[in-house]
């Protein structure tokens, strides 16, 4: 379909696809097998300017456009969702700094994130606080010129790899969500260490690790914004990041669709009406997913005030389609779909996480429903 991409967006899409096929594809299976962080690939992407996509021009970036991020995530996700996740976490981690940090903090971190000198990550999830953000148990208490952090963050993408982390901690537990604050924590700060490295079903090349804070001393200057605003920062950051997650799922679906189409042609199955209908459904659903992502990205980039609903649309539907498309592809391919050489089984493993991270799809449905209720003016009972 024609999405009226600008010349710059078309060039970006072509450039990222070329990098994905020339650099990621040859090592994809090995990275997945060994659960190896794609450091060399991320460094190459940095040299190609792809980390600058996340960052505003005044800090060494190219504009921090969600549309550009979505295009890049889709093209990398089409080849490997694990590499796409490792890449996209840079946007998730830098987002709060871009939009909520002080000018001094922005100047200190953003140019180095743009150049690839610093990797960043986002420290939110805990054993008892995934979807329930308000239940964060990590605490931060003020002592003189420092905040002292204690707690454990779980399932943190780029954990132990990143140099800079935006970490959410409670500075006033009595206030619940309104007592959560955001801090910029650097690797090497006293009391900051890494715990368990997870051995995952999918996106295996994206490192997932615990962050452990034991009387971690964070300078008071590293508080982001004001105490108690961390929850708001997080929700707004997710609204901007979720189209990118949807785009990774879209990339997975596109990759599976292309793989099964090629398989069906090689096995002389394209004359089968059942196969034709499956392929038609895949193509239709993929285009619908792409439309939702691009529409959400355009809305965010245009400065639309409330983008929670379109952002949730852009995360929910494409990730569900990623799961459906990979399952349908394996159904068509039969036992061949289970073989590593066709890579569709990896796409299935990768697809599942897109329904879970950065807000489960059940959470997205709840968000969408609440926005609809608010817009219609009907009361919740």
Q: Each residue of 225-236: pLDDT tens digit?
A: 999 999 999 999
Q: Which of 214, 351, 202, 364 is nearest to 296 (CA)?
A: 364
Distances (CA, A) of 2 to 54, 291, 369: 25, 10, 30
User: Tokens 């299935």 label which residue?
Assistant: 348
- Residues 357-372 have pLDDT tens digits of 999 999 999 999 999 9
- How many H helices and E strands in the chain? 11, 8
Distances (CA, A) of 112 to 58, 167, 192, 244, 268: 13, 19, 21, 22, 52
Tokens of 65: 């456009």
Task: State the chain's maximal CA–CA distance in angstroms.
Answer: 74
Strands (E), 144-247: 146-157, 164-170, 180-186, 192-197, 208-219, 223-224
Residue 186 pairs in a beta bridge with 164
- pLDDT (average), residues 239-259: 97
Look at the alpha carbons of 199, 201, 203, 204 in this order and tell me if their dihedral is positive or negative: positive
Query: Which three-class secondary structure state does DSSP give residue 186?
Result: strand
The dihedral over CA atoms of 341, 343, 346, 347, expressed in degrees to the nearest 10, equals: -170
* pLDDT for the residue numbered 312: 98
Confidence of residue 1 (pLDDT cuts 50, 70, 90): confident
Alpha-carbon span 152 to 150, nearest angstrom: 7
Alpha carbon 65 to its chain centroid, in Å, reads: 15
- pLDDT (average), residues 206-215: 98
Answer yes or no: is pLDDT of 130 > 90: no
Q: Which residues form the catalytic set?
A: 358
Confidence of residue 185 (pLDDT cuts 50, 70, 90): very high
Alpha-carbon span 373 to 371, nearest angstrom: 5
Go through the domains of the chain in sequence order and give each one's CATH number.
7-115 (1.10.540.10), 120-228 (2.40.110.10), 231-376 (1.20.140.10)
Confidence of residue 52 (pLDDT cuts 50, 70, 90): very high
Percent of the chain scored above 90 by pLDDT?
96
As a residue count, the chain comes to 381
Query: Per the confidence metrics, is the pTM higher than 0.85?
Result: yes
Answer yes or no: is pLDDT of 381 > 80: no
């Amino acid at each position: 379909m024609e999405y009226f991409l600008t010349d710059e967006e078309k060039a970006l899409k072509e450039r990222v696809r070329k990098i994905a096929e020339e650099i990621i594809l040859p090592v994809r299976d090995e990275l997945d097998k060994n659960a190896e962080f794609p450091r060399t690939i991320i460094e190459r992407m940095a040299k190609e300017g792809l980390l600058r996509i996340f960052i505003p021009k005044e800090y060494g970036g190219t504009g921090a456009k969600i549309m550009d991020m979505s295009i890049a995530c889709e093209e990398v996700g089409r080849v490997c969702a694990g590499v796409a996740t490792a890449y996209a976490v840079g946007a998730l981690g830098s987002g709060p700094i871009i939009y909520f940090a002080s000018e001094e903090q922005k100047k200190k971190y953003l140019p180095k994130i743009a150049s690839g000198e610093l990797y960043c990550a986002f420290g939110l999830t805990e054993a008892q606080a995934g979807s329930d953000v308000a239940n964060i148990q990590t605490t931060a208490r003020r002592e003189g010129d420092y905040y002292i952090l204690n707690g454990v963050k779980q399932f943190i993408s780029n954990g132990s790899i990143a140099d800079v982390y935006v970490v959410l901690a409670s500075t006033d537990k009595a206030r619940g969500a309104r007592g959560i604050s955001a801090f910029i924590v650097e690797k090497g700060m006293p009391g900051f260490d890494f715990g368990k490295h997870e051995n995952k079903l999918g996106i295996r090349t994206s490192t997932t690790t615990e962050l452990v804070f034991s009387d971690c001393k964070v300078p008071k200057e590293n508080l982001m914004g004001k105490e108690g605003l961390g929850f708001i920062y997080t929700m707004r950051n997710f609204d901007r990041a979720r189209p990118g997650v949807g785009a990774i799922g879209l990339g997975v679906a596109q990759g599976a669709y292309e793989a099964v189409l090629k398989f069906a042609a090689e096995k002389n199955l394209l004359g089968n009406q059942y196969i034709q209908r499956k392929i038609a459904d895949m193509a239709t659903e993929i285009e619908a997913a792409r439309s939702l992502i691009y529409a959400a990205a355009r809305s965010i980039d245009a400065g639309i005030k409330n983008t929670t609903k379109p952002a949730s649309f852009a995360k929910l539907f494409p990730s569900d389609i990623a799961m459906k498309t990979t399952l349908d592809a394996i159904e068509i391919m039969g036992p061949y779909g289970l073989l590593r050489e066709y890579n569709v089984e990896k796409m299935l493993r990768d697809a599942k996480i897109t329904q879970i991270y950065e807000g489960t799809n059940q959470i997205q449905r709840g968000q969408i429903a609440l926005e609809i209720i608010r817009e219609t003016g009907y009361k919740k009972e």
